[in-house]
C-alpha cells in the first residue's frame, strides 16, 4: 500500500483526506462501513456513512452519539481534500458498504465485512476494480464452506414441527442475522408469530420502517406461559443467562458461521446448530479477490495466514494489515 493510507493506533487513516475508516477510538472524522458495534463506535466528531448506518447508530447510542452525521448514498461520489470517496454495497447487512478511495490515480477498496450470498435484507456485494483490495478474513480457512441457508433454516422449522411440546430458543445477532433469519423463515412459509427478546425488537422495528416485511413479531414479555411449539429469538449472550431460565422445556439453537465447529457447539451447549453467516466463506473470499482482480491484497480481521499463503501462491502481492479491535461477534 502506498503511503497515503496508514495504520494508526485508532485504526486505518487516510492522510490526505484526514479521516479514519471504522476507527476503534473517537476521532475527528470517520467513515463508517456498517453499523456493527466493532466498526461503528460512538463519540467521533464527524461521521460519513449510509443513511441506514447512521440511523442504526442512533438507535443504539442515542441521538448525540456524534455531532455531525453526513449521509452518503451508494454510488455517490464525494471529494475530501483531493481523495475521491464512494460507498458501494457490501452485501453484509442493511446499509453496509465497501469504501472506494481514489487518490492521485490509485484506487483502494476497503471492503469492511462482506458476503456474496443472496440476502433479502440488504443490497448485494458490488464488484469494483481497484489497485489495492483490503479484505476481511473472518472465515478464511478451507473448512469454512457455508451450506445453503434454506436447508439450514428448514432444520428449525422441522424441529419445531417434530418437537411441538418444546420452546425453541434460538440465539442470533441483533443486527442483520436476526432479520435475515426471519425473512428466510417467512420465505419457507413459516407464518407463526415469532417472539423476540427486547434487545432484538428495536432494530427489527427499524427494518420494518425500511420496508423489510418481517411478519408477526411480539416481545417475549407479552406472553406469560409458553406451552411449547413457540419460536423465541434472543441475543447469543442471553441463551444461557438468567433470562433464559424462565423457559423450561427448551431446545437451544444458535445461528452462526461458527456452528461449523463442533467444539463451539459443545462449548455453548447447543442442541440445534444452524450454519448461516453474514461473512464470505473460504471459496467466496478467494472468488471475490479473483473478480476484483487487484494488484495488491491486504488481509485483516480474522484468520489471515491461510488466505495470505494461498494468494501468494496465486501471484498476488499481499500482506497482513491486522487491524485491531474487531471481533468475531457479528458473524
Ligand atoms: Zn459486521
Ligand atoms: Zn466485523
Asked if 94 contacts 52 with a C-beta cutoff of 8 angstroms, the reply is yes
User: How far does the centroid of ligand 2 lie from the alpha carbon of residue 22, in Å?
Assistant: 10
Say whether both 12 and 112 belong to one domain.
yes
Residue 52 located in a structural domain: yes
Which residues have a Cβ under 8 Å from the Cβ of 142 and sit 6 or more positions away? Answer: 282, 306
Q: Which ligand is nearest to the CA of 97?
A: 1
Angle between helices 282-292 and 304-313 (to 10 degrees): 50
* CA gap 63, 45 in Å, rounded: 13
- The string over 273-298, giving b where at least 16 C-beta atoms fall within 10 Å of a residue's C-beta and e elsewhere, is bbbbbbbbbbebbbebbeebebebbb
> Which of the 8 DSSP states describes residue 266?
H
Q: Per-residue pLDDT tens for 163-218?
A: 999 999 999 999 999 999 999 999 999 999 999 999 999 999 999 999 999 999 99
Say whether both 19 and 63 belong to one domain.
yes
Say whether both 138 and 287 belong to one domain.
yes
* Strand ranges, E, within the chain: 5-8, 11-14, 19-21, 29-31, 46-49, 68-71, 77-80, 83-89, 97-103, 106-110, 132-137, 167-171, 194-196, 217-219, 231-234, 250-255, 272-274, 296-302, 317-320
Tally the domains of the chain: 2
CATH number at residue 218: 3.40.50
Q: Per-residue pLDDT tens for 75-124?
A: 999 999 999 999 999 999 999 999 999 999 999 999 999 999 999 999 99
Say whether both 111 and 70 belong to one domain.
yes
Say whether both 73 and 221 belong to one domain.
no
User: How far does the centroid of ligand 1 lie from the alpha carbon of residue 245, in Å?
Assistant: 29
Residue 50 located in a structural domain: yes
Domain that holds residue 295: 5-143+279-320
User: How far does the centroid of ligand 1 lie from the alpha carbon of residue 34, in Å?
Assistant: 7
Say whether both 255 and 303 belong to one domain.
no
Q: Which ligand is nearest to the CA of 115?
A: 1
Say whether both 270 and 295 belong to one domain.
no
User: How far does the centroid of ligand 1 lie from the alpha carbon of residue 80, in Å?
Assistant: 25
Q: Per-residue pLDDT tens for 256-270?
A: 999 999 999 999 999
Amino acid at each position: 500500500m502506498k503511503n497515503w493510507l496508514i495504520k494508526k493506533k485508532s485504526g486505518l487513516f487516510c492522510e490526505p483526506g484526514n479521516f479514519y475508516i471504522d476507527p476503534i477510538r473517537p476521532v475527528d472524522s470517520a467513515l463508517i462501513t456498517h453499523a456493527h458495534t466493532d466498526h461503528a463506535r460512538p463519540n467521533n466528531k464527524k461521521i460519513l456513512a449510509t443513511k441506514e448506518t447512521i440511523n442504526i447508530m442512533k438507535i443504539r447510542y442515542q441521538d448525540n452519539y456524534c455531532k455531525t452525521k453526513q449521509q452518503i448514498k451508494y454510488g455517490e461520489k464525494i471529494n475530501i481534500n483531493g481523495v475521491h470517496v464512494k460507498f458501494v454495497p457490501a452485501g453484509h447487512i442493511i446499509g453496509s458498504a465497501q469504501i472506494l478511495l481514489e487518490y492521485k490515480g490509485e484506487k483502494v477498496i476497503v471492503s469492511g465485512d462482506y458476503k456474496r450470498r443472496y440476502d433479502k435484507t440488504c443490497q448485494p456485494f458490488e464488484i469494483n476494480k481497484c489497485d489495492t483490495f483490503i479484505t476481511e478474513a473472518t472465515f478464511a480457512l478451507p473448512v469454512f464452506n457455508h451450506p445453503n441457508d434454506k436447508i439450514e433454516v428448514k432444520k428449525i422449522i422441522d424441529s419445531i414441527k417434530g418437537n411441538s411440546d418444546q420452546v425453541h430458543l434460538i440465539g442470533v445477532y441483533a443486527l442483520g442475522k436476526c432479520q435475515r433469519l426471519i425473512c428466510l423463515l417467512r420465505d419457507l412459509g413459516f407464518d407463526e408469530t415469532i417472539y423476540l427478546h427486547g434487545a432484538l425488537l428495536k432494530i427489527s422495528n427499524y427494518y420494518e420502517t425500511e420496508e423489510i416485511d418481517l411478519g408477526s413479531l411480539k416481545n417475549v414479555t407479552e406472553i406469560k406461559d409458553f406451552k411449547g411449539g413457540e419460536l423465541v429469538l434472543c441475543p447469543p449472550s442471553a441463551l444461557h443467562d438468567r433470562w433464559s431460565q424462565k423457559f423450561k422445556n427448551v431446545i437451544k439453537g444458535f445461528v452462526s458461521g461458527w456452528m461449523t465447529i463442533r467444539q463451539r457447539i459443545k462449548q455453548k451447549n447447543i442442541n440445534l446448530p444452524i450454519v448461516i453467516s453474514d461473512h464470505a466463506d473460504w471459496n467466496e473470499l478467494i472468488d471475490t479477490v479473483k473478480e476484483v482482480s487487484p494488484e495488491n491484497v491486504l488481509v485483516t480481521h480474522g484468520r489471515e495466514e491461510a488466505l495470505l499463503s494461498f494468494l501468494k501462491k496465486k501471484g498476488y502481492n499481499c500482506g497482513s494489515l491486522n487491524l485491531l479491535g474487531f471481533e468475531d461477534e457479528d458473524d
